[in-house]
Chains A and B, each alone.
Chain A
Amino acid sequence: MARVVVEVMPKPEILDPQGKAVTGALKRLGFSGLSVRQGKRFEIEIEGEITPERIEQATKAADSLLANTTIENYVVRVDG
């Protein structure tokens, strides 16, 4: 089974309250000089061969459901 990975990140200009909270928590725990932005990763198992059509399908899925393209960017790549 082939796998496609979609990584979604808040756009660089957009405030990321979760990442900010993690950054603050790390600082309180003594990890200095670390700044975090938090996104999400989707692993999509694909039946059969990975073809350009399959990538296109995964990209459409990312664009319409996995990412909120108003405030998030995404990348689609083949895993492995």
Chain B
Amino acid sequence: MTDTVANAKATPDVTQPWAELGLKADEYRSIREILRRRPTSCELAMYSVMWSEHCSYKSSKVHLARFAQLPKTTPRGPLLAGIGEQAGVVDIGNDWAVTFKVESHNHPSYVEPYQGAATGVGGIVRDILAMGARPIASMDSLRFGRLDAPDTARVLPGIVAGVGGYGNCLGLPNIGGEVVFDASYYGNPLVNALSVGVLKHGDLHLAFARGAGNKVILYGATTGGDGIGGASVLASETFDADGPAKRPSVQVGDPFTEKLLIECTLELFAAGVVNGIQDLGAAGISCATSELASAGDGGMHIDLDLVPLRDNTLTPEEILMSESQERMAAVVEPENLDRFFEICAKWDVLATVIGEVTEGDRLVIDWHGETVVDVDPHTVAHEGPVYQRPMARPDWLDALNADTTASLGRPGNGPELEEHFRRVVVSPNQCDKSWVTDQYDRYVRGNSVLSQPEDSGMLRIDEGTGLGIALATDCNARFTLLDPYVGAQLALAEAYRNVAATGAEPVAITDCLNFGSPEDPEVMWQFSQAIDGLIEGCKILGTPVTGGNVSFYNRTGETNIMPTPLVGMLGVIDNVADRVKSRFQNQGDAIVLLGETRNDLDGSAWAEVIHNHIGGNPPKPCLEAEQALAQVLLRASKERLLSSAHDLSDGGLAVALAESAMLSGFGARMKLPEDTFVALFSETPGRVLVSLPESKLSALSQLCGDLPHARLGTVTDDGALTITGQFAIAVSALRREWAATIPVALKTRPRSAR
């Protein structure tokens, strides 16, 4: 029997499964206080999903609020939409605007790697779409347990195939990202999906439900029983003992439906027939109705019987919580309904009026003619619990910081140095990632200028002027573990530098903050420190945070992941023809290192690969120096001085040099400073390796001014990387080994039982 509002009033003492739905005792108590009665099972379903960590940001809200102090302007002008909207919108000039956002889909991707990753891509694409923008590209930052761990052989191929399968079917190029391996992600891989879209200024749309009498329309896929693992508590155990078996919590995506949804939605926007639009993601109809209603000025009345179902055994609680993919909600004025349905029919998209905007301020939902929900939508969507979680600097941190790399054995001669060089370059975190990225289409739509393995992905936006954008995602979580404040700034600096290295001006960031359990005070301290680091860093760099996502509870058993505040940086380039590639281009070019190298080996790739060591203190970022470096790179790109530019980060000069050579087939003859080991493996930030014709050296030198820069060598065609006085290594052999790391590891591993 259905638990109606009348029934709830009549039976105040019924025991409800709030704990099973993830609510705490005081949260359940405040729901009762808000409603001044017990919630119906449908209301309980709505509050429990909307007040979950994932939807309410209850542990992170107090910290995220600090982002508000950042100016809402980029180096190119004011933001058109910022934090709080479904995605931030940046003015890039020529009447073009770009919207971009990164979101996590970590836990679903562990349970079912293919579908978890696929629906992660689909979800973030709908966020971009809901702003009125055409999605134009994806990027994915993936983190796994060790490459040689058995479950990685299940999770990695599944996730990569899911990202590729969904994105390729949608016709979106995947232009970059990261693949990182670390033991802390075993049992909790990270899938951070970024989507970017483009629109004209006038096409920007914000979601709200305004005007009594306007219709609420659900369109796209039908609603099924997927992604409602939690709701089965309500359906099968408490209210109907003979009800359906426990539902799977997994969702399956259908990219072809999503493609139709994209085209249909863009045409609906263009026709001017929608007042507000919202994608259905986590918490499905619960989220869309309560958010649309509370963003508008009225109430809303929904008739759940009208929701088109894929499975007609669904209970009203399940319909409210279902996370079936490829659905959107729209608010439409009655006189536009015919045109709306006409456009949906053209794209073969199912659309159904499920309710309307009402006078007053209540969200009322009926089922079989009886009211099952009667709430103030604001209390569902925005007045969830807010926690000031306890924070504590981890007591193990001092010991970790004291355990520096100073005592680690360093190579004593040329052959040993060569061995370390080779091992770092071919290690899982530095090796060739083509096995992953070759499963993605990176050229579809015909505007991809750069994609992996370049420092950032780049897209042409305006075919007339060549105006384009660049995107890079970065985070070195080893640094963040050693010092979350500094580590977050280093992630910011690296993404900034990667964008600048390709010739684009960095303008704004999105972030995906992946952390362990917020109920662990040490994790909350890491989280808070990382946010402070990002805010101070963004203030100096002038890049606002346009939005993003927090993912907590990333842990395996009691082991939290390394704090991973991923930064996605957007850059703008006036003419993509000025872009700079990372690989060497011409024999005889001079090789110059921009920036200063210090003795920064703590937390480095060298320490990890050679000594399996993490400890000490991360390098000190100097964001003013990063800015000066970026200015030099931007001017050098505009003046066409550079043949190549490659950011130095993990693995330092060793990896940058090896990649510049391996990707081009050229060799290099290098004369490095006296402490060759530090020169090769130090990870001091603020450095970029460039190559250029000798004739342009003086022009570059002039541009640099006070910025340290040093000629280190020359590009050769002898197929060898020669470090004078130390070693020479054949580029082709190194490349073979570098390219084999992932394929060999995955093929030799037995497929683990599910």
Contact = CB atoms under 8 A, between A and B. Distances in A.
Chain B: interface size category: 20 to 34
Given A64-B754, A70-B754, A17 B256 contact: yes
Interface in A25-80: 63-65, 68-71
A1 interface: no
Contacts of B247: 13
Contacts, number: 53
A64 B753 contact: yes
B256 A13 contact: no
A13 B112 contact: no
B256 A15 contact: no
Contacts of B253: 15, 17
Contacts of A2: none
Contact of A13 (B225, B348, B751, B753): B225
B257 A17 contact: yes
Contacts of B225: 12-13
A64 B154 CA distance: 12
Contact of A71 (B252, B254, B348): B252
Given A11-B248, A13-B248, A14-B226, A20 B254 contact: yes
Contacts of B251: 15
A8 B88 CA distance: 43
Contacts of B311: 12-13
A13 B754 contact: no
A64 B254 CA distance: 25
Contacts of B221: 15
Given A64-B753, A69-B754, A70-B248, A17 B112 contact: no
B214 interface: no
Contacts of B751: 65
Contact of B310 (A15, A65, A69, A71): A15
Contacts of A12: 225, 311
A33 to B, nearest CB: 16
Identify which of A11, A21, A24 gathers the most chain B CB atoms within 10 Å of its CB.
Answer: A11
Interface string B525-547: 00000000000000000000000
B246 to A, nearest CB: 10
A11 B248 CA distance: 9
Identify which of A11, A13, A15, A63 gathers the most chain B CB atoms within 10 Å of its CB.
Answer: A13
B224 interface: yes
A2 to B, nearest CB: 25
Interface residues of A, number: 18
A14 B325 contact: no
B594 to A, nearest CB: 49
Contact of B224 (A15, A21, A24): A15
A20 B251 CA distance: 15
B324 interface: yes
Contacts of A17: 252-254, 256-257
Nearest to B232: A13
A13 B112 CA distance: 15
B257 A70 contact: no
Identify which of A20, A63, A69 gathers the most chain B CB atoms within 10 Å of its CB.
Answer: A20
A15 B754 contact: no
Interface in B712-739: none
Contact of B111 (A14, A15, A70): A70
Nearest to A12: B311
A74 to B, nearest CB: 12
A70 B112 contact: yes
Interface string B234-256: 00000000001001101111101
Given A13-B226, A17-B252, A17-B257, A68 B754 contact: yes
A24 B260 CA distance: 14
A16 B112 CA distance: 15
Contacts of B256: 17, 21
B194 to A, nearest CB: 24
B498 interface: no
B739 to A, nearest CB: 29
A33 B670 CA distance: 73
Given A13-B225, A13-B226, A13-B311, A70 B324 contact: no
A65 B256 CA distance: 27
Identify which of A17, A20, A21 gathers the most chain B CB atoms within 10 Å of its CB.
Answer: A17
A9 to B, nearest CB: 13
B152 to A, nearest CB: 17
A14 B247 CA distance: 9
Nearest to B115: A71
A17 B224 CA distance: 12
B343 to A, nearest CB: 19
Nearest to B116: A70
A2 B706 CA distance: 81
8 contacts: A13-B244, A14-B248, A15-B226, A17-B252, A21-B256, A63-B754, A70-B754, A71-B112
Closest 5 CB pairs of A and B: A13-B225, A17-B254, A15-B252, A64-B753, A70-B112
Interface of A: 10-17, 20-21, 24, 63-65, 68-71
Given A14-B252, A65-B751, A71-B250, 5 more contacts: A13-B226, A13-B248, A15-B221, A17-B254, A71-B252
